[in-house]
């Protein structure tokens, strides 16, 4: 299945380019890189300065899809095990800012 802005929340995030645009941890704002791992509560982003572990719950991300489109997503809707996220029912207004 092709990743689109509408199905991003239910799709695999590993391999996507990600940028942290807002976070309660100000040290992580501006972190840019590729998602290399994902757990229930964390995204691990490989940056030029190493791998950064970013909490999903209090962070806003901008993901770049393979075809170049960018999508801004609130991390609180991503909090779930990746394999269980496909079953979640999420209103578009909650994940797309």
Q: Kindly report, residue by residue over 50-74, the tens digit of the pLDDT.
A: 999 999 999 999 999 998 999 999 9
Task: Give Cβ neighbours of residue 8 (< 8 Å, ≥ 6 apart).
Answer: 63, 65, 71, 73, 95
Instruction: Give 91's pLDDT tier (boundaries 50, 70, 90).
Output: low
Mean pLDDT of the 7-32 span: 92
Region of 17 please: left (phi>0), alpha (psi -120 to 50) or beta: beta
Q: Kindly report, residue by residue over 34-44, the tens digit of the pLDDT.
A: 999 999 999 99
Structure tokens at 50: 């190493």
Fold of 8-87: SH3 type barrels. (2.30.30)
User: Global pTM?
Assistant: 0.84
Locate the domains of the chain by residue range. 8-87
Between the two ends of the chain, the Cα-to-Cα distance in Å is: 23
Name which of 8-12, 16-20, 62-66 the model is least confident about. Answer: 8-12
The residue among 87 and 14 whose pLDDT is bigger is: 14
């Amino acid at each position: 299945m092709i990743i689109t802005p509408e199905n991003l929340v239910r799709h695999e995030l590993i391999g996507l380019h990600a940028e942290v645009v807002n976070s309660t941890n100000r040290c992580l704002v501006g972190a840019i890189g590729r998602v290399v791992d994902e757990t229930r509560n964390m995204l691990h982003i490989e940056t030029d300065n190493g791998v950064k572990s970013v909490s999903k719950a209090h962070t806003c991300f901008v993901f770049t899809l393979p075809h170049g489109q960018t999508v801004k997503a609130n991390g609180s809707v991503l909090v779930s095990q990746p394999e269980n996220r496909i079953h979640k029912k999420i209103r578009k207004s909650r994940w797309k800012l």
